[in-house]
Amino acid sequence: MKKIIIKYINILTVWGLLLSSAQAQTVSKDDNILSDSLKTPANRWSHTTVSADELQKSNWMLNSTNVYYQQLLGITASQLARPNAPGSKLMARNISYPLVIIDGVERDIENFAISEIENIEFVSDATALAIYGFKAKAGALLITTKQGKGGKLNIEANYSHGVKFAEKPQPMVDAKTYALGYNEARINDGRDIVYDQNAIDYYQSGQRPMVFADVDWYDEVMKDAAYYNQYNVSVSGGSKNIKTFTSINYQTDQGFIKLSKPDKDIPNQFQYSSLKLRSNLSARLTNSTVFKVKLAGRITESSRGNDTGYNLIKILYNTPANAFPVKTENGKYGIGKKFKVNPVAKLMETGFYKDHIRALTTNFIIEQDLKGIVPGLRLTASLSHDNFSRLYEIKTKEHESEIVTPVFKNGELELTYQTVGKNQGSYNFNSGLGWEKHRTNGQVHVSYAKAFSNSSLNLDYIGFIENYRLKDLRNTYNRVSNNLIAKYSFADKYELEGVINLSGSNILDPKDNWGYMPAVKVGWIASNEKFFQNLDMLNYLKLDMSYGIIGNDHFKPDQYISGYGGGGRILLGDNATINTIKRYNLPVDNLAYQKQKIFNLRVQTQLFDHWFATANIFKNSSYDLFITQQHLVSEVLGVQPGLANVGKNDYKGYELALTYQGLSGDWKYSVTGRFSAYDNEIINVDEKPWPYEYGKRTGKRLGQLFGYKAIGFFKDQNDIENSPKQLFGTVNPGSVKYADIDNNGTVDEYDRIALGEGNKPRCNFGLNLSVAYKNFSVDMVVDGIAKYETLMNRSLYSINYDNNFSQEYYDNRWSENNQNAKYPALTLENNENNLQESTLWLEDCSFVKLRTLRIAYQFPKTLIGRIKATNAEVFLAGYNLFSIDNVEGDPEARGFHYPMHRVLSAGINVNF
């Protein structure tokens, strides 16, 4: 049925093209095929778009996701702590990642430099999202790259140099404290001490450090500061009929490793260098035809020692100060019996890992004005092909280490040495394809615009066809999408827009792989009404409301197939191994695409000339979600029941932005305050029947943490005996005591309650401030979140399996003299009891951060005219400068992580 409709639409449009004829009409220019129809008068402040002038202010940042996205109402960004030009994680309304569309095609923004971007817009109305068919998400970022201007050549050169300061690590205990703590744990467990006074004296005195090691591993390996450089040259220009924009961007970034390179060809530092090239050309071929080409390429090389940032930091924290010396007295690298990785040796001796990214994105577009056939009719066709590949090379080798064991015999120190491993002369080399992505996308856009005396009508047909292929099997996504869009605007006051999308995908069952997504939007520009015209204070007031159903197929292919596959082998006798075949799962009944019903109400207003406000309220009901049915089907079935489209989640929230913009003599200023609050609820999820409400996932927020309620520590054996049984492991005085919520005498999984507020912050807020005076300007962004809790990194707060522990833990641990402690007693037995997820380990991650501060000075035109420059600016900027929060370390990076950075950058922008 749906296929017939499509064929009908196709025929209709072709017929329209061939048979009708009318006058021409000038056409509006828009490179981005899908754009918003909101009229934006010159000085209107938009809270959902940001343009090149604003983006220019962050051109000293290395990663394009670090642009001031917080300016876009509805987008929240949280900084990631990683080596190599780390970016931010972007969320649309705290629901999911946004759909990122660059020049009309879904692309990865990290492949592009900030200087290439002309315009970024965030859309969240169902009418704007439905157009993307099965790719739709809860919000979309529409990005356009620079087209350039025709005419005289304009060259822009930028250079910035930044220094990054590493986050300070959490202090871990020194060797003496470790030994004392270890002994204390043994005594708590009813066993003998391990470190005798002789050993402790040596740690205290610091004599023979290559036998009685006391190494601050973090300090041995990591340094406080590193630098980066960024060079950018953009050229734009052309002639009457040709516009071009070309840019070259080159970045290098160094990491925080302190050690020198073992060899100039063997990197052990986190190093990154990236080259991004772009060339956009727009040529008017006839007075009704424009041909555009956009080409961009990226080459990136990153290298590091043989450990990822995460793994390296984990080893640095987890290796106790006394585990082994960096080098023994014999000059060999130290190693332990229990701790088998020497981080210094790992970075100096074991080789490296290099990563090469090659990416190419292309767009070929023809815009044909068909005014010769029907006035107001335009056709745009475009073809694009994107390629991305990541190749890796690894060199590894072994090295020799030595274990030194000190033993005291009759007060005399005796050392035994044991060699481990051997020195390998040459490296083993390995290389391969890490990842690849290919996307081919064809689009057709036919639009018809007709103006009447008091109204206007726009009709559009937009069709996409796309093939998206990733590495490995079963990673190919073929999609087709057809859109019919109608916009009617009356008396400059009323707007009505309707969208119907018809999409097909190969992810769905071939018997039923089409879906249709309708959306509608009404707008009312109230300020144009007669009764509002007399209100001087009210410059502009618009209300709009949109509602629609968008769909997506974001799950793995082949879910509609139920098949047989290998069941593993079985031994039925001596040397009698047999293959078995089993049924994998039952097929999914009626595989359907996932849907979201989105309702959005928006008010935009300008008051007293200087005040601009935007307010949104939305509700997003996601249903037909593809979830497992593990707990909804009886085990008597005997086979995996397969997933089903029965999941349901609800999201809602409101967003406010208020700006004051003013001019006063030589002063120009604007202040924007932003606030968003989000909430969500799980309506239906795969969960086993739970006896009590408090333990159920259903009805709570997504990503809700569950854990026990910690009510203190056991005082003594008596206390343990008279309390409900805790069966996680050994329980001693000083172990954590949990509440028996269901009063059944034992603490087990049915006593778990909801902890924290879900896996996304409930509130995001911020303040942007811009002040300019004569040639100086200051821009500041403050960002914050509230109502967000996570669990602490518990491995720093226990001596689990001999691991290292933090000074904070040692200073606040339970002991018989310190019963009102923050943390449980030291113990070496299996720490299962103390490390359970519970209220004890919950921490509040809310913060207010001075995200960015930039001070710039523009040289007077007369001065720079001498070097034929049209504009020159020097600036000093900082990122992630200051944070008010409740946790040790950075509130945005919890658990083991590569150090978070604070950046100070200086740079210069010159235009010729």
Within residues 517-576, the interface with another protein by CB under 8 A covers 557-558, 561-565, 567-568, 570-576
Site for another protein in 434-473 (CB under 8 A): 442-444, 446, 463, 465, 467, 473
CB of 74 to another protein, least distance (A): 32
The answer to whether residue 364 forms part of the interface with another protein (CB under 8 A) is no
Residues 6+ apart with CB under 8 A from 312: 221, 305, 343, 346, 347, 898
Phi and psi dihedrals of 732, rounded to 5?
A: -125, 170
The answer to whether residue 504 forms part of the interface with another protein (CB under 8 A) is yes
> In this structure, how many other beta carbons lie within 10 angstroms of the beta carbon of residue 899?
26
Site for another protein in 704-743 (CB under 8 A): 725, 727, 730
Nearer to another protein, 504 or 824 (CB): 504
The answer to whether residue 746 forms part of the interface with another protein (CB under 8 A) is yes
Burial-class residue 510 by CB neighbours within 10 Å (0-12, 13-18, 19+). Answer: exposed
The answer to whether residue 633 forms part of the interface with another protein (CB under 8 A) is yes
CB of 840 to another protein, least distance (A): 23
DSSP states of 498-558 as a string?
EEEEEEEETTS-GGG-EEEEEEEEEEEEGGGSHHHHT-TTEEEEEEEEEEEEEEE--S-TT
Q: Using CA of residue 532, residue 533, residue 536, residue 540, what is the dihedral sign? A: positive
Residues 6+ apart with CB under 8 A from 628: 643, 686
- Indicate which single residue of 8, 12, 14, 667 sits in contact with another protein (rule: CB under 8 A): 14
The answer to whether residue 637 forms part of the interface with another protein (CB under 8 A) is yes
Q: Would you say 110 and 64 are in contact if contact means Cβ atoms under 8 Å apart?
A: yes
The answer to whether residue 638 forms part of the interface with another protein (CB under 8 A) is yes
The answer to whether residue 698 forms part of the interface with another protein (CB under 8 A) is no
The answer to whether residue 419 forms part of the interface with another protein (CB under 8 A) is no
Q: Which residue has the tokens 């500061």?
A: 225
Question: 495 by DSSP, 3-state: which?
Answer: strand
Integer angstrom CA distances of residue 547 from 99, 232, 237, 288: 19, 43, 43, 37
In angstroms, the CA 270 to CA 258 distance is 11
Q: Which window, 196-204, 350-358, 631-639, 668-676, contacts another protein (CB under 8 A)?
A: 631-639
CB of 149 to another protein, least distance (A): 24
Nearer to another protein, 714 or 728 (CB): 728
The answer to whether residue 629 forms part of the interface with another protein (CB under 8 A) is yes
In angstroms, the CA 181 to CA 775 distance is 60
Nearer to another protein, 154 or 684 (CB): 684
Q: Would you say 470 and 497 are in contact if contact means Cβ atoms under 8 Å apart?
A: no
Overall residue count recorded for the chain in this entry: 912
Two tokens, residue 548: 């629609």
Q: How many residues bind another protein (CB under 8 A)?
A: 81
CB of 817 to another protein, least distance (A): 28
CB of 600 to another protein, least distance (A): 30
CB of 455 to another protein, least distance (A): 29
Query: Taking the C-alpha atoms of 770, 235, 101 and 380 in order, what is their torsion angle to the nearest 10 degrees?
Result: 130
Q: Which window, 116-124, 390-398, 503-511, 901-909, contacts another protein (CB under 8 A)?
A: 503-511
CB of 737 to another protein, least distance (A): 18
Nearer to another protein, 363 or 880 (CB): 363
Q: Which window, 155-163, 260-268, 282-290, 388-396, contacts another protein (CB under 8 A)?
A: 282-290
In angstroms, the CA 734 to CA 730 distance is 11
- Indicate which single residue of 126, 222, 321, 370 sits in contact with another protein (rule: CB under 8 A): 370
The answer to whether residue 41 forms part of the interface with another protein (CB under 8 A) is no
In angstroms, the CA 397 to CA 395 distance is 7
Nearer to another protein, 95 or 446 (CB): 446
Phi and psi dihedrals of 530, rounded to 5?
A: -55, -45
The answer to whether residue 381 forms part of the interface with another protein (CB under 8 A) is yes
CB of 799 to another protein, least distance (A): 19
Q: Would you say 590 and 621 are in contact if contact means Cβ atoms under 8 Å apart?
A: no
Tell me the three-class secondary structure of 2-64, residue by residue: HHHHHHHHHHHHHHHHHHCCCCCCCCCCCCCCCCCCCCCCCCCCCCCEEEHHHHHCCCCCCCH
Nearer to another protein, 337 or 582 (CB): 582
CA atoms within 13 A on the CB side of 782: 15
Binding track over 144-163 against another protein, x by CB under 8 A: --------------------
The answer to whether residue 510 forms part of the interface with another protein (CB under 8 A) is yes
Question: 203 by DSSP, 3-state: which?
Answer: helix
The answer to whether residue 78 forms part of the interface with another protein (CB under 8 A) is no
Q: Using CA of residue 552, residue 554, residue 558, residue 564, what is the dihedral sign? A: negative
Site for another protein in 397-416 (CB under 8 A): none
CB of 484 to another protein, least distance (A): 13
Nearer to another protein, 730 or 871 (CB): 730
CB of 128 to another protein, least distance (A): 22
The answer to whether residue 748 forms part of the interface with another protein (CB under 8 A) is yes
Binding track over 641-660 against another protein, x by CB under 8 A: x-------------------
CB of 507 to another protein, least distance (A): 9
Nearer to another protein, 17 or 771 (CB): 17
Nearer to another protein, 531 or 564 (CB): 564
